[in-house]
Amino acid sequence: MPTGVWLLGGRGSVAVTCLTGAAAIRAGLAGPTGCVTELPELRGGRALPAWAELVFGGHDLVTTPLPKRAEALAAAGVVPARLVATLAGELAALDSEIRPVPEAATQRETALRVAGDIAGFRRRHGLERVVVVNLTATEPEVPRQPAHERLDALEAALAGTTPVLPASSLYAYASFLAGCSYVDFTPSAGARLPALAELARQRRLPYAGHDGKTGETLVRSVLAPMFASRHLRVRSWSGVNLLGGGDGANLADPATNAAKAASKQRVLAETLGYRPEGATRIEYVADLGDHKTAWDLITFHGFLDTPMRMEFTWHGCDSALAAPLVIDLARLTAAAHRAGRGGPLAELAFFFKDPVGQAPHSLAEQWSALVCFVRELGDA
Amino acid sequence: MPTGVWLLGGRGSVAVTCLTGAAAIRAGLAGPTGCVTELPELRGGRALPAWAELVFGGHDLVTTPLPKRAEALAAAGVVPARLVATLAGELAALDSEIRPVPEAATQRETALRVAGDIAGFRRRHGLERVVVVNLTATEPEVPRQPAHERLDALEAALAGTTPVLPASSLYAYASFLAGCSYVDFTPSAGARLPALAELARQRRLPYAGHDGKTGETLVRSVLAPMFASRHLRVRSWSGVNLLGGGDGANLADPATNAAKAASKQRVLAETLGYRPEGATRIEYVADLGDHKTAWDLITFHGFLDTPMRMEFTWHGCDSALAAPLVIDLARLTAAAHRAGRGGPLAELAFFFKDPVGQAPHSLAEQWSALVCFVRELGDA
Amino acid sequence: MPTGVWLLGGRGSVAVTCLTGAAAIRAGLAGPTGCVTELPELRGGRALPAWAELVFGGHDLVTTPLPKRAEALAAAGVVPARLVATLAGELAALDSEIRPVPEAATQRETALRVAGDIAGFRRRHGLERVVVVNLTATEPEVPRQPAHERLDALEAALAGTTPVLPASSLYAYASFLAGCSYVDFTPSAGARLPALAELARQRRLPYAGHDGKTGETLVRSVLAPMFASRHLRVRSWSGVNLLGGGDGANLADPATNAAKAASKQRVLAETLGYRPEGATRIEYVADLGDHKTAWDLITFHGFLDTPMRMEFTWHGCDSALAAPLVIDLARLTAAAHRAGRGGPLAELAFFFKDPVGQAPHSLAEQWSALVCFVRELGDA
Amino acid sequence: MPTGVWLLGGRGSVAVTCLTGAAAIRAGLAGPTGCVTELPELRGGRALPAWAELVFGGHDLVTTPLPKRAEALAAAGVVPARLVATLAGELAALDSEIRPVPEAATQRETALRVAGDIAGFRRRHGLERVVVVNLTATEPEVPRQPAHERLDALEAALAGTTPVLPASSLYAYASFLAGCSYVDFTPSAGARLPALAELARQRRLPYAGHDGKTGETLVRSVLAPMFASRHLRVRSWSGVNLLGGGDGANLADPATNAAKAASKQRVLAETLGYRPEGATRIEYVADLGDHKTAWDLITFHGFLDTPMRMEFTWHGCDSALAAPLVIDLARLTAAAHRAGRGGPLAELAFFFKDPVGQAPHSLAEQWSALVCFVRELGDA
């Protein structure tokens, strides 16, 4: 089943790492490290499209050619330079499938052009279905409007010249129009508006998100359950994230930052059953490039309230952590779509900081849910 | 069901913290932080003896009175000084139940006297059953002998004047003779010899162990599954444990150390499915007292083998981490005994670095197994 | 030479630790750990008043008696409980010398009453001279006014009913009126206004400050010179300070915080000769109490711009770090006063984050300057 | 003044980084980051040979050509790949000056051949003088023999067929025979035998060493004086060094390790004036390659013995830290030689863990001594 993966932000670091890696793996030049769907527990899933069946395309405002972007990532230590050199031809070919972002007088018109681009991609490659994955920069939080609540109100508003949806949600709308599933790897609004949920339900289209879990929150999603199951009382949990790269500058902006930091502390509160003291900060440090350093200090009480503490430092390369998960999500969402699943895919919580639907916050429970999900898809 | 808890090493730091805490909780002076059996998921277990039903006794070579030992722990910041002052009377009363360690010409005779002490304790307090918990210092690894393999050979050897069992195993033997279950909180041999397993099976007595999981290995048991389930390749995992206290001096001894360090790296290999590079060291630093600092460096590969790393530091108070687990283990093992369970209790793997029986190494899976176990005991 | 030490904020954590410690050391119950003036390199300084010659008094808004405050510090692990118990009588006696803060209709009147309190203290105890040390909470930055620039303008403005000076500066003014030297252990304005400098010069009174260097900045003042003297290029230096206690809540306030964080980054720029990327954050975490945890990440380039990094975590007890320095500063400033030194004491830069006068930023150079200063005072 | 730099271990990582860097700097392709002699405080020193005057040669057992070695270092992230590509021709030219290590029947004969190689190099390039720098692998500690004590006894022993000197010392002997100064960047014995000191004195040849200070000890040499000058009592100082690369495997060997670890703890004792508890471990972790991670935990007491702690992690690239210092040492030693200085150069203690002669252990004092030294050489 040839399956399309349409990347919004197709020339960004995560997308380019993803495209380079997928090409390398297909060519037998690299192994699938970091790809969850290649683990023995999930590999049995015949329901998932094979690597050879994946076809990539996307939209981006940026026009720098993919090979050039890949070289920049190689210089930054995100992908191996030798791979980029070897795969230059493949990347150049992929480049033609990354389209400029359409613009029009009304958001409805823009959405139709986006949907048209995706439909053309599907036709050209004879794809059974396409998964749209949002990899664009995090948006500031958007005030809710009445038009977000119901599909009919939304459709009316989209026809006007005043924009009513943030870009991520307009893309979700366009994806659903085009009959595609939608995955939001960012913390932006995306498909999370009731009007869009209504549309996805109507058309039986699955969607997943939000905010790929690639560093500090990943670690927190195993440490917090550890403290909880040992009945150790977490008194404070403070974190600082230092990051460079494009998203770093964006996230250090207080408006964007607030949403992200709040969601990080929420994970703790929901896992522990109470909200420990402390905050999470995000700081932009250009020198770190695509690498991120997170430091967390956890103070906790043991028996008879004896005070103790733990700290950890995480030095990760965000693009290299995110890229394989994008492929995993595309494969899993395509399989869910094929199996007739519509609406939010809570079973993909394993991948997200702020998962859609009702999902546990412990990574281990999320993992179990994912394993079951793939098994059921295979049986379906 | 009045239940005895017989502590081997009853005047050691863990035992004294345990006794002080149990008295404090019963008197309503402290909450059950750190007690796993007081979590909502396990508390339903009517099968467990109530706190008020627990009666404590034990053996120790040391004769310093409990109130004095508790004051020393208060000075070291392990237990609150005000609790020790308030509970001085209770601790003095408990003191009379800590007996000197019997010694005799043959190990058989010693075992009978140990069993006799426990039986007397049981009789005096009208206890339904007694759980023996080994909290003595870690022993060096012991070479296996033919007498360890079969019960009849062992019984013959015990009658001789040449010691055949290490102290921990002789205690396990005596516990089984006295019809008691046995928990080994140390990495020593304990009940792990085939001849003792045979005896436990014969008498339908449950036993659990080994080596309470209270710090670095606890953290490893959630981080290693995190790396595994994200298909991140761990390249090296190195650790150093700095610890003071009595056990610190003991563990820094290369012979003792080797066993413990090896078991720590084994946990990693079994969870990850391969053995990463690196070693775990234990160093004695008297200034740290009852507190332990562990530092781990983990280097790993993500997508396309991009190198990344994580480090953590754990500053824990070992006695305050171990003591509530001792009470948990006593309650759980007593309930298993009552429910007719004999042999190794793999379901208690949650508590141990090196669990008996077939058990998963992921803390989350161990937790699920524990929740099921308590539910089944309640239903039985 | 009996010498008075007048503590502004005399019931605060630093002051109470200082008073308890001074009493303990005089009684032979504790050694002078943390007291720089007790090091062999400075001890020769016969110019310094002896411990037995120091007499303590002060002002505070708070009225909780000193023994009670000391007990609270003992419970928080800042001072040993046994010392507080033993010294209860001494602390109660000291309590009567901590006066309420005078209030009056004009700042001039308030200053006169403050000066009057100090003069009374001096008379009662027959003191040769008094050093006033500001230990009150950090003030928000104050906008400069014309009256701050010249002494005559200031004196005119003080007679009005509109306050013109922040409290720290009013205290400096009062101290100089009373013929006393003044030390500011906080980052507040204190004696740093030109009008006050004029007054100090006129009266030949020495003053020192600002902002006691007790943790992260102390470490930075040795690490930054290390990078500089090895010609390693610091690319970014980011820090986070987590602190509880009264000053924590105060400093987490953005207005107060800004001044302090800016001064922390300035130290780096001045030592390195360029301003590395990065910021310093201060966060309030009540659970940390009087203890502070600072974490710094430094990224730097070596030969051929090879990227490297260093991180450190500092877990310090601020009051226990500050208190002995308060005594050092009182002894040193009294000796300078006696030797006829007036104006800013740049030679005390060793003690401060943001020293008055022209001073080097490297701790080692500051130390050399201090050693010379004491030697010269002794020779004078 | 054309000056030769003869590198023992000329194809090792440090040497190759040094050669690549020197070529890059001369070609204007890189700046002198990490070169201490390029700091403003030392640059005035007209006494130092200019970069353009340095000519490199050396000995090595290994025969892999320099360009290949440089490529391997580029792949490991030690030097930039683009520099290695650009400088391929230069490196190939340098390759011919790296000679195989001579071997002969007696150590005397070997020394003469080594001296001959160096003399030939000097003649070929018309060099005013040559500095020999030892960059070979660390040797195990060598038992002292009578022949090490006096030059005449040594010369007699060298004529025999039983080796009497370790390689590093034989090279020092050969260097002195050839009229060259000698720098030992390793912890090996080198010129530290009384017989060799006698020879250096006789011939007025300067020598320096031992053991380049590039990571953990560098940091310790500023932190230990910080604790000392603040009168904070260091209770324990524990460290672990994880390192890959050739020297890692070598140093993890207990015999070699012991010497190095002991010297690391000695630095602490000499700076603090007492020996804190704790040990330093070296572990080989191949995955770290040329990078080294050191973690130190320091526990200390403040006022009234309040316990506190600090930890740091250093992630450095050893070759990139060492290489510029090799050039610095060559320039400085050549200038000392030219100025007629013979014997141990204690003024170069700034560069070494275990400096020859009487030298302070504080980095700041070592820096001051170095600045004076260069100033005096310039005046001479």
Dihedral pair phi/psi, residue B40, rounded to 5°: -55, -35
Q: Which of D172, D201, D180, D171 is nearest to D122 (CA)?
A: D180
Chain B residues with CB-CB distance to C77 below 8 A = 77
Amino acid identity, residue A219? V
How far, rounded to the nearest angstrom, does the alpha carbon of residue D32 sit from its chain's CA centroid?
18
**Cα–Cα distance for residue pair D36/D57, rounded to 1 Å:** 22
The predicted structure's pLDDT at residue C142: 86
Q: State the smallest CA–CA distance between residue C236 and chain A in angstroms.
A: 7
% of chain C with per-residue pLDDT over 70: 96
How does strand B233-243 pair with strand B206-209?
Answer: unpaired
Dig out the tokens for A96 from the structure: 């033609």
Amino acid identity, residue A16? V
Q: Which residues does B319 contact at the CB level (< 8 Å), separation at least 6?
A: B13, B14, B16, B17, B73, B78, B245, B290
Q: Which of D349, D345, D346 is nearest to D366 (CA)?
A: D349
Cα maximum dimension of chain C: 68
Chain A residues with CB-CB distance to B363 below 8 A = 225-226, 229, 364
**Cα–Cα distance for residue pair D234/C34, rounded to 1 Å:** 11
Dihedral pair phi/psi, residue B123, rounded to 5°: -60, -55
Of D225, D309, D323, Cβ closest to residue C315:
D309
Whether D230 sits inside 8 A of C36 (CB atoms) is yes
How many Cβ atoms sit within 10 Å of the Cβ of residue A149?
A: 13
Q: Which of C239, C354, C251 is nearest to C295 (CA)?
A: C239
**Cα–Cα distance for residue pair C33/C18, rounded to 1 Å:** 12
Closest residue of A to B325, CA-based? Answer: A230
**What string of pLDDT tens digits covers the 380 residues of chain D?**
899 999 999 999 999 999 999 999 999 999 999 999 999 999 766 789 999 999 999 999 999 999 999 999 998 889 999 999 999 999 999 999 999 999 999 999 999 999 999 999 999 999 999 999 999 998 988 899 999 999 999 999 999 999 999 999 999 999 999 999 999 999 999 999 999 999 999 999 999 999 999 989 999 999 999 999 999 999 999 999 999 876 666 776 776 677 667 777 778 998 899 999 999 999 999 999 989 999 999 999 999 999 999 999 999 999 999 999 999 999 999 999 999 999 999 999 999 999 999 999 899 999 999 999 999 988 75
Residues D260-289 as b or e (16 or more Cβ within 10 Å = b): bbebbbebbeebbeeebbbbbbbbbbebbb
Whether D33 sits inside 8 A of C313 (CB atoms) is no
Closest residue of B to A371, CA-based? Answer: B229
Of B230, B323, B324, Cβ closest to residue A34:
B230
Cα–Cα separations (whole angstroms), residue D127 to A39, C293, D18: 63, 56, 20
**Cα–Cα distance for residue pair C123/C118, rounded to 1 Å:** 9
How does strand B307-317 pair with strand B291-301?
Answer: antiparallel
| B interface residues, C as partner, C-beta within 8 Å | 77, 81, 313
pLDDT digits (tens, 9 = 90+) for B140-178: 888 999 999 999 999 999 999 999 999 999 999 999 999
Helix (H, G, I), strand (E, B) or coil at B370: helix
Q: State the smallest CA–CA distance between residue A4 and chain D in angstroms.
A: 35
Of B279, B293, B311, Cβ closest to residue D283:
B279
Q: State the smallest CA–CA distance between residue B80 and chain C in angstroms.
A: 10
Whole-complex ipTM: 0.95
Whether D81 sits inside 8 A of A77 (CB atoms) is no
**Cα–Cα distance for residue pair A340/A358, rounded to 1 Å:** 19
Amino acid identity, residue D310? M
Chain D residues with CB-CB distance to A81 below 8 A = 81
The predicted structure's pLDDT at residue B142: 86
Closest residue of B to C312, CA-based? Answer: B313
Test the C interface: residue of A78, A281, A287, A313 with most C CBs within 10 Å: A287
> What is the residue-averaged pLDDT of chain C?
93
Cα–Cα separations (whole angstroms), residue D223 to B66, B178, C233, C312: 42, 58, 20, 11
Q: Which of B268, B362, B131, B271 is nearest to A229 (CA)?
A: B362
pLDDT digits (tens, 9 = 90+) for D341-359: 999 999 999 999 999 999 9
Dig out the tokens for A103 from the structure: 């613009």
Amino acid identity, residue A128? E
Of D39, D302, D323, Cβ closest to residue C317:
D302
Helix (H, G, I), strand (E, B) or coil at A380: coil
Closest residue of A to B305, CA-based? Answer: A33
Q: Where are the beta strands (DSSP E) in D135-256?
A: 181-184, 206-209, 233-243
How does strand B98-100 pair with strand B54-60?
Answer: parallel
Identify the H or E element spanning D169: helix D167-177
Q: State the smallest CA–CA distance between residue C74 and chain A in angstroms.
A: 15
Asked if B134 and B9 touch (Cβ cutoff 8 Å), the reply is: yes
The β-bridge partners of C207 are C182, C344
DSSP state letter for A181: E
Indicate whether C249 pLDDT > 90. no
Chain C residues with CB-CB distance to D20 below 8 A = 304
In this prediction, residues B99-121 reach a mean pLDDT of: 96
**Cα–Cα distance for residue pair A171/D79, rounded to 1 Å:** 44
Dihedral pair phi/psi, residue D244, rounded to 5°: -105, -150
Asked if D209 and D356 touch (Cβ cutoff 8 Å), the reply is: yes
Q: State the smallest CA–CA distance between residue B305 and chain D in angstroms.
A: 12
Closest residue of B to D235, CA-based? Answer: B287
**Cα–Cα distance for residue pair C321/A266, rounded to 1 Å:** 36
Whether B238 sits inside 8 A of D299 (CB atoms) is no
The β-bridge partners of D280 are D239
% of chain A with per-residue pLDDT over 90: 86
Of C236, C287, C311, Cβ closest to residue A285:
C236
How many Cβ atoms sit within 10 Å of the Cβ of residue D85?
A: 12
Chain A residues with CB-CB distance to C240 below 8 A = 238, 240, 281, 295
Asked if A311 and B313 touch (Cβ cutoff 8 Å), the reply is: yes
Whether A283 sits inside 8 A of C287 (CB atoms) is no
Cα–Cα separations (whole angstroms), residue C134 to A18, C165, C173, C183: 59, 15, 12, 6
**Cα–Cα distance for residue pair A362/A273, rounded to 1 Å:** 12
**Cα–Cα distance for residue pair A153/B138, rounded to 1 Å:** 71
Closest residue of A to C309, CA-based? Answer: A288
Q: Which chains touch B (3 or more CB pairs under 8 A)?
A: A, C, D
The predicted structure's pLDDT at residue B255: 67
Asked if A44 and A156 touch (Cβ cutoff 8 Å), the reply is: no
Q: State the smallest CA–CA distance between residue B199 and chain C in angstroms.
A: 50
Q: State the smallest CA–CA distance between residue A57 and chain C in angstroms.
A: 35
Helix (H, G, I), strand (E, B) or coil at C331: helix
Using alpha carbons only, how large is chain C's radius of gyration in Å? 20
Q: State the smallest CA–CA distance between residue D311 and chain B in angstroms.
A: 9
Whether C81 sits inside 8 A of B81 (CB atoms) is yes
Q: State the smallest CA–CA distance between residue B315 and chain C in angstroms.
A: 11
Test the C interface: residue of A242, A290, A291, A314 with most C CBs within 10 Å: A242
**Cα–Cα distance for residue pair D314/D2, rounded to 1 Å:** 37
**Cα–Cα distance for residue pair C128/C342, rounded to 1 Å:** 17
Residue pairs between chains C and D whose CB atoms are closer than 8 Å = 177
Residue pairs between chains A and C whose CB atoms are closer than 8 Å = 58
The β-bridge partners of D98 are D58
pLDDT digits (tens, 9 = 90+) for B288-327: 998 999 999 999 999 999 999 999 999 999 999 999 999 9
- Measured between its terminal Cα atoms, the distance across chain B in Å is 16
Amino acid identity, residue D115? A
Total count of residues recorded for chain C: 380
Whether A240 sits inside 8 A of C235 (CB atoms) is no
**Cα–Cα distance for residue pair C33/C59, rounded to 1 Å:** 27
Cα–Cα separations (whole angstroms), residue D360 to C37, C223, C349, D212: 22, 18, 23, 16
Closest residue of C to B311, CA-based? Answer: C311
Helix (H, G, I), strand (E, B) or coil at C139: coil
**Cα–Cα distance for residue pair A95/B341, rounded to 1 Å:** 65
Whether C303 sits inside 8 A of D324 (CB atoms) is yes
**What string of pLDDT tens digits covers the 380 residues of chain A?**
899 999 999 999 999 999 999 999 999 999 999 999 999 999 766 789 999 999 999 999 999 999 999 999 998 889 999 999 999 999 999 999 999 999 999 999 999 999 999 999 999 999 999 999 999 998 988 899 999 999 999 999 999 999 999 999 999 999 999 999 999 999 999 999 999 999 999 999 999 999 999 989 999 999 999 999 999 999 999 999 999 876 666 776 776 677 667 777 778 998 899 999 999 999 999 999 989 999 999 999 999 999 999 999 999 999 999 999 999 999 999 999 999 999 999 999 999 999 999 999 899 999 999 999 999 988 75
Q: Which chains touch A (3 or more CB pairs under 8 A)?
A: B, C, D
Closest residue of B to A292, CA-based? Answer: B308
Chain A residues with CB-CB distance to D72 below 8 A = none
The predicted structure's pLDDT at residue A193: 96
Cα maximum dimension of chain A: 68
Q: State the smallest CA–CA distance between residue D365 and chain C in angstroms.
A: 8
Q: Which of A187, A363, A193, A185 is nearest to A282 (CA)?
A: A187
**Cα–Cα distance for residue pair B172/B193, rounded to 1 Å:** 10
How far, rounded to the nearest angstrom, does the alpha carbon of residue D256 sit from its chain's CA centroid?
16
% of chain D with per-residue pLDDT over 90: 86
How many Cβ atoms sit within 10 Å of the Cβ of residue B85?
A: 12
Of A240, A279, A287, Cβ closest to residue C236:
A287
The predicted structure's pLDDT at residue A192: 94
HSE on the CB side for A287, CA within 13 Å? 20
Helix (H, G, I), strand (E, B) or coil at A296: strand
**Cα–Cα distance for residue pair B320/A305, rounded to 1 Å:** 9
In this prediction, residues B257-271 reach a mean pLDDT of: 77
Chain A residues with CB-CB distance to B317 below 8 A = 302, 306, 308
Test the C interface: residue of A232, A234, A299 with most C CBs within 10 Å: A299
Closest residue of A to B14, CA-based? Answer: A303
Whether B240 sits inside 8 A of D278 (CB atoms) is no
Q: Which chains touch C (3 or more CB pairs under 8 A)?
A: A, B, D
How many Cβ atoms sit within 10 Å of the Cβ of residue C189?
A: 24
Q: State the smallest CA–CA distance between residue D316 and chain B in angstroms.
A: 14
Asked if C49 and C333 touch (Cβ cutoff 8 Å), the reply is: no
The predicted structure's pLDDT at residue B245: 77
Whether A278 sits inside 8 A of C285 (CB atoms) is yes
Whether B310 sits inside 8 A of A309 (CB atoms) is no
Asked if B45 and B328 touch (Cβ cutoff 8 Å), the reply is: no
Dihedral pair phi/psi, residue A289, rounded to 5°: 60, -135
pLDDT digits (tens, 9 = 90+) for C299-310: 999 999 999 999
The dihedral sign for the CA sequence D363, D368, D369, D373: positive
As a dihedral over the C-alpha atoms of residue C165, residue C169, residue C174, residue C176, rounded to 10 degrees, the angle is -130
DSSP labels, B99-129: EEPP--SSHHHHHHHHHHHHHHHHHHHT-SE
**Cα–Cα distance for residue pair B227/B230, rounded to 1 Å:** 5
Q: State the smallest CA–CA distance between residue D300 and chain C in angstroms.
A: 10
Asked if D318 and D215 touch (Cβ cutoff 8 Å), the reply is: yes
